[in-house]
Amino acid sequence: MIKAILVFNNHGKPRLTKFYQYFNEEMQQQIIKETFQLVSKRDDNVCNFLEGGSLIGGADYKLIYRHYATLYFVFCVDSSESELGILDLIQVFVETLDKCFENVCELDLIFHVDKVHYILNELVMGGMVLETNMTEIITRIEDQNKLEKQEAGLAAAPARAVSAVKNMNLPQQIKDIKLPDLPAAIKDLKF
């Protein structure tokens, strides 16, 4: 079982939090903070497993994480999950994001956290792995987006126009924050 999925950036700002076990908001923030402290002090060339923090987990739980450019993807799982399998799952997640957002960067996660949630929901359900086939995942997501578009129809057109105008004011500096390409970080791992 997966107990929690956390995505935060290099400064510990949460970009996505999904807890499959109830914690109140205050506790959630503490967990994010603790996890960030645990993960961020590790070099990039050390292993991706971490015996869990004190707040989340216990002896049976592990933190399995990957660091992509400015973002940490952390999964807190128990011993029923395969460590290497979860690493692959994180990779599937990130690649799905990459497909859905076309060159995903931190900004996409910041402004479309809801969409990221919908994507995650197609991978993991209630703490259990639902699907690992990316083609299938993307089909489902596209189907749902189509459904949403149909519903929006003409009514949404003016709203889209307005948001397009709003988007033009997007401060330039945010645009510059980009996820460097994934391959560089990973290509030296091979099996």
The footprint of other proteins on residues 2-31 (CB under 8 A) is: 14, 16-18, 20, 22, 24-26, 28-29
Answer for the pair 139, 147: CB distance below 8 angstroms, yes or no. no
Among 50, 71, 76, 104, binds other proteins (CB under 8 A): 50
- 3-class SS of residue 122: helix
Is residue 140 a contact point for other proteins (CB under 8 A)? yes
Per CB under 8 A, contacts with other proteins among 59-78 are none
Residue with tokens 């950036």: 9
Among 10, 84, 142, 177, binds other proteins (CB under 8 A): 84
Among 11, 46, 102, 154, binds other proteins (CB under 8 A): 46
Query: Closest approach of Cβ 102 to other proteins, in Å?
Result: 14
Is residue 170 a contact point for other proteins (CB under 8 A)? yes
Answer for the pair 5, 74: CB distance below 8 angstroms, yes or no. yes
**Whole-angstrom Cα distance, residue 69 to residue 62?**
22
Answer for the pair 68, 94: CB distance below 8 angstroms, yes or no. yes
Answer for the pair 3, 20: CB distance below 8 angstroms, yes or no. yes
Binding letters toward other proteins, positions 90-129, x by CB under 8 A: -xx--x--------------xx-xx--xx--x---xxxxx
